[in-house]
Amino acid sequence: MPSLTKARIAFVIAIGLLVACALVVYGTLRGLNESEIRVQHAQQVQVLLGELESAIASAARARLTYVFSGNDDSLNQYQTAVARIPAKLSELRQSVKDEPIQLSYCDKLEHLVTTRIELWEKSVALKRSGAPEPAGQPDLTRQSVMFAEEIISVTQTMRDEESNQLAGRRTAAGFNFFLTNAILVVSFIAAVWLLFWHYRLQRAELIARERAEKETLAAAQAAQLAENKARAAEKSALASHEAARHLSARLLHLQDEERRRLSRELHDSTGQHLAAAKMVLSSLTMSQPNDRRYAECMELLDRSLREIRTISHLLHPSGLEEAGFSTSARWYVEEFAKRSNTEIRVDIAELPERLPREVELALFRVLQEGLANIHRHAKSRSAEVEFRLEGAQLALEIRDHGVGIAPEMLEQFRSAAVFGVGLAGIRERVRDLGGTFNVDSNGEGTRLRVTIPAPQSAASRAGTEPFRKGSSPGLNS
Ligand SMILES: Nc1ncnc2c1ncn2[C@@H]1O[C@H](COP(=O)(O)OP(=O)(O)O)[C@@H](O)[C@H]1O
Ligand SMILES: [Mg+2]
């Protein structure tokens, strides 16, 4: 049983015992009070018996005096004393009305007293009649004396009875008093012991609680410390992640610059040299029309020029700077569709104004990467490219119906564990411009969706001026 429950039980029992003590004390006091009343009652009965005896004795004496002297005063005294006797008898009867034995003695006493009074009355009447002296008086007096003895015997019995009852009550009261004292002492000691036990249990509980609280506090402090450490670690991880992101963005930017430089170099220098070589060769071809080798050289130079132009364009789409994103994108998709033999549905909106250079370049790189991935990984025969202004956002969506990205690869990409290349490169470019990049992929295909905040002027002009829908190449193959 838990110690707290034990303590509660001990406390309740202790309180119960104390209440019982209080009740016992109350009962004892009541008993004492009753005993007191009883003693008073016994005394009252004794007094009444005494008064009755005294009234009877007075009457007897007055009757005797009257019989001997014929004195009227004695007759008066006799009559007064006799008149008191019924009243005293009735008082006595009243005071013992709850005691059947005493009541029966009362009846007997009353009978004896009445009979004796009748004798006295006869004696008095005899005296009054003036009959020759005293024929029946001695006999009457003798009878009266006999009754007197019986009356005394009855009153004595009543006194004894009263004393016996009193003694019985005293013995019972003494025993009760002893018992009460014993109960009180035992209960009190038990209550004190229980209260002490209760105190000890409560104290033990309190100490245990304090210890537990201290331990909890220590654990909380340790947890707080660990949390602080974890936070610090998280902060530094975030900081290094941020630094890596910045580095990655910077690398992308440098890569763009380098590609632009290479592209210009190829176009302006190598391209020009090849063009010059072609011009020289064409004059030589005209002077030697029968030599096939010149024509072959011409063809090789033409192919090299085309490839240089393509590579230069892929490295940095020069048309992008002149024609803008929508036109270049349309041209690029068309070329890609032709080269990769993929059906591509294009829906590219023409914007009312040019976008900032970095936005156009970012959108173009997204398009390039998306299409390159379709060609390299998707194994899809068809795809869709859509570009439009949605409210204040430029939205570019590229969809294919190929094999989809492997889930673990998607997870790796989503956990932001990779930087800089392919899809991760797109994400950083877009994030740098305050946009969003979502990749959805399953076994039925892949959807890349990029949104970039449109420059305010483009967004507000688009609200008033309807888009010119670009001349879509439609379905290419
Ligand atoms: N459209 C796609 N369809 C199927 N798989 C794709 C697609 N795009 C990307 N992937 C998968 O995701 C991987 C990561 O793509 P990416 O970041 O562009 O890197 P890379 O193209 O250099 O491999 C690819 O290696 C490929 O397995
Ligand atoms: Mg790729």
pLDDT at residue 311, rounded to an integer: 84
pLDDT at residue 464, rounded to an integer: 54
Closest CA to 117 of 138, 91, 148, 139: 148
Same domain, 322 and 193: no
Return the residue matching tokens 């009965």: 45
Mean pLDDT for 389-394 is 93
CA 66 vs CA 73, 81, 295, 329: distances in Å: 8, 13, 198, 165
pLDDT at residue 134, rounded to an integer: 56
Range with lowest mean pLDDT among 61-65, 210-214, 307-311, 452-456: 307-311
pLDDT at residue 475, rounded to an integer: 31
pLDDT for 283-342, tens place per residue? Answer: 888 888 888 888 889 899 999 998 888 888 778 877 788 889 999 999 899 989 998 889
Q: Determine whether the shortest distance from the Cβ of 378 to ligand 1 is under 6 A.
A: yes
Range with lowest mean pLDDT among 198-207, 236-245, 371-380, 467-476: 467-476
**Is the pTM higher than 0.85?**
no
Residue 196 in any domain: the answer is yes
Mark the residues whose beta carbon lies below 5 A from ion ligand 2.
373, 422
Q: Determine whether the shortest distance from the Cβ of 320 to ligand 1 is under 6 A.
A: no
Sign of the C-alpha dihedral computed for residues 89, 95, 99 and 100 taken in this order = positive
Mean pLDDT for 434-459 is 91
More confident residue, 267 or 458: 267
Number of domains observed in the structure of the chain: 2
Cα of 373 vs centre of ligand 2, distance in Å, is 5
Cα of 328 vs centre of ligand 2, distance in Å, is 20
More confident residue, 469 or 392: 392
Confidence class of residue 467 from pLDDT cuts 50, 70 and 90?
very low
Return the CATH number at 171.
1.20.120.1730
pLDDT at residue 54, rounded to an integer: 93
Give the Cα separation of 102 and 110 in Å (integer): 12
pLDDT for 414-431, tens place per residue? Answer: 877 665 578 888 998 898
pLDDT at residue 419, rounded to an integer: 54
pLDDT at residue 304, rounded to an integer: 92
Q: Determine whether the shortest distance from the Cβ of 404 to ligand 1 is under 6 A.
A: yes
Return the residue whose CA atom lies nearest to atom 9 of ligand 1. 373
Q: For the chain, how many residues are written?
A: 477
Cα of 332 vs centre of ligand 1, distance in Å, is 20
400 alpha carbon, closest ligand? 1
406 alpha carbon, closest ligand? 1
| Boundary-marking domain end, from 208, 235, 251 | 208
- The percentage of the chain sitting over the pLDDT mark of 70, rounded to a whole number, equals 94
- Taking 70 as the threshold, does the pLDDT of residue 409 lie above it? yes
Residue 195 in any domain: the answer is yes
Provide the CA 77 distance to its chain's centre, in angstroms: 98
Give the Cα separation of 44 and 96 in Å (integer): 10
| Boundary-marking domain end, from 157, 190, 208 | 208
pLDDT at residue 232, rounded to an integer: 96
- Taking 80 as the threshold, does the pLDDT of residue 477 lie above it? no
Q: What is the mean pLDDT of the chain?
A: 87
pLDDT at residue 27, rounded to an integer: 87
pLDDT at residue 252, rounded to an integer: 82
pLDDT for 105-159, tens place per residue? Answer: 999 999 999 999 999 998 898 888 877 655 678 888 888 889 999 999 999 999 9
Cα of 256 vs centre of ligand 1, distance in Å, is 21
pLDDT at residue 420, rounded to an integer: 53
Return the CATH number at 462.
3.30.565.10
Phi, psi of 400 (to 5 degrees): -130, 175
Same domain, 202 and 351: no
Return the residue matching tokens 């010149």: 294
Residue 453 in any domain: the answer is yes
Helix (H) or strand (E) holding 171: helix 137-264
| Boundary-marking domain end, from 183, 208, 233 | 208
Residue 322 in any domain: the answer is yes
Retrieve residue 305's tokens: 């020029």
CA 304 vs CA 69, 295, 317, 452, 463: distances in Å: 189, 14, 18, 38, 47
Residue 232 in any domain: the answer is no
Residue 79 in any domain: the answer is yes
- Taking 50 as the threshold, does the pLDDT of residue 466 lie above it? no
Give the Cα separation of 289 and 223 in Å (integer): 91
Strands 382-390 vs 343-350: parallel, antiparallel or unpaired: parallel
Domain range for 53 is 3-208
Give the Cα separation of 297 and 276 in Å (integer): 13
Q: For residue 317, what is the DSSP state?
A: -
- The percentage of the chain sitting over the pLDDT mark of 90, rounded to a whole number, equals 47
Sort 325 into a burial class: Cβ within 10 Å, 0-12 / 13-18 / 19+: buried
Residue 238 in any domain: the answer is no
